[in-house]
Chain A
Amino acid sequence: MSDAIDFLAGHRGEVLQRGLEHVRISGISLVLALAVALPVALWLAHTGRGGVLAINASNIGRALPSLAIIALVFSLPGFGLSQNTAIIALVLLGIPPILTNAYVGVRGVDRDVVEAARGMGMRGTQILRGVELPLAAPVIMAGVRTGAVQIVATATLGALVGAGGLGVFIIDAIALQDTGRLIAGAVLVALLAIVTDVGFGALERAVTPAGLAVTQHRERTRRRGAGRGRGDQVLAGQARRSGAA
């Protein structure tokens, strides 16, 4: 442990640079994944099309080994050893949980509420923005959280394709058999993933409409008494993160 502290003390500049690289690659990837997944999911959910695809996206995503995806992107012409290789792979891995949760979230909005909104004269986009999105926000954010943690975790492997990031310390340390560097790198990566998870968890709570939080709490306590049913478990599975990388 003292080796790790020595390493951190002696390499402050490099640690900062690798940390920023990691955050930057992850951030770009998350934004791109959101830009692809959210519009598709919202459109599918709003129109009620492509449900099977959207619901199974996260299953398919989980079946894709992260290292294999990086390798596949690496082998495409024009990629190879570059940050773009890592970013494209991270986007591909980030899309499925975001897509599935956004779809499930919007579809899970009480149809009566949507009907009521329509009865009040709201139009398609108004219903989406004023009713469906706010009510679905917690589930959507849970998917974003899963995707973000997945991306930050997998960005560690970006070091293999020359994308930099905190994974560089770990990969180098294994080759150099440098314990201080290894522990320092591992702790930094773990902390970044945990901070991401906790941060997006807080965001998830922040976007939960006040009224919804009350009903959810009530339903949860009621269900606990009755024994948890299948549907509850499904949502629990979807709402929580998927896949360490």
Chain B
Amino acid sequence: MTLLRQAAGSVAPSIDWAWIGRHTDDMVARVIKHLIFTGIAVGLGFAISLALSLLIVRYRWTYGPITGVAGLLYTIPSLALFGLLIPITGLTVTTAEIALVSYTLLILIRNTVAGLDGVPAEVRDAALGMGFSPIQLLLKVDLPLALPVIVAGLRVATVTTIGLVTVTALIGMDNLGSFITDGLQRLFVTPLLVGAVLSIALAVAADLTLLGVERLIAPWTRATREAR
């Protein structure tokens, strides 16, 4: 604890509070950009994952190959994936988003399939017996019942993506990571800390918000909350 206080004490004087005061607009703008980047990646990732998950539920043999490819993409470090994409799509938002989307796939597909698998067969049979069409069955039975597990996946994907968006600053994207790269380039601690603290705070805030959503739509999970 004393070590921590010493560390804090010796860092605090080197923080340029005036710089922070002058850059509050930047901070707000970059938080928003960071969220937009994250939103696009998770949104696109979810659309793709939902389609692939429905395919998997219909044709079970595709589970292995699809999660295999998604797992491979997931294992490739972000900077390397950017590096592989840059010769094709350049230092662009497209490069950043392709990589970010590809990282959401494994998490989202696994949870969406688990959610859909968890829908009790009796409920589906009852719906079919009531004359539901396949589309109605999907929209009114399967998806609502799978929603808690799907949202748990979205939560993990969102938090992971927020962290990865930070890295896209290295390929010239403007977001909270830009404070960190600025700071590292100029060996100037203030923006560095601002970027680090804000991106961690954003990830934690997103995690807690989505946890709230998760509990709101599935209050019964509170007792046995282990979904991740």
Contact = CB atoms under 8 A, between A and B. Distances in A.
Contact of B159 (A62, A149, A160, A227): A62
Contact of B80 (A62, A68, A72, A156): A156
A74 B191 CA distance: 12
B11 A227 contact: no
A241 interface: yes
B58 to A, nearest CB: 15
Contact of A67 (B120, B177, B204): B177
Given A179-B87, A244-B74, A156 B226 contact: no
Contact of A170 (B79, B177, B197): B79
B118 to A, nearest CB: 6
Given A183-B87, A241-B75, A69 B196 contact: yes
Interface in A179-211: 179, 182-183, 185-187, 189-190, 193-194, 197
Contacts of B11: 75-77
Contact of B228 (A59, A186, A194): A59
B114 interface: yes
In this complex, the interface size class of chain A, counting residues with CB under 8 Å from chain B, is 35 or more
Contact of B192 (A75, A77, A244): A75
A160 B160 contact: no
A101 B81 CA distance: 28
B192 to A, nearest CB: 5
Contacts of B103: 244
A237 interface: yes
B103 to A, nearest CB: 5
Interface in A209-234: 227-234
Interface in B122-169: 149, 156, 159-160, 162-164, 166-167, 169
A178 to B, nearest CB: 11
Contacts of B192: 71, 74-75
17 contacts: A63-B159, A65-B199, A66-B166, A67-B166, A71-B180, A75-B192, A80-B187, A154-B77, A156-B79, A182-B86, A185-B80, A194-B72, A194-B76, A233-B110, A233-B118, A241-B75, A244-B75
Interface of A: 55, 58-59, 62-69, 71-72, 74-77, 80-81, 149, 152-154, 156-157, 160-161, 167, 170-171, 173-174, 179, 182-183, 185-187, 189-190, 193-194, 197, 227-234, 236-238, 240-241, 243-245
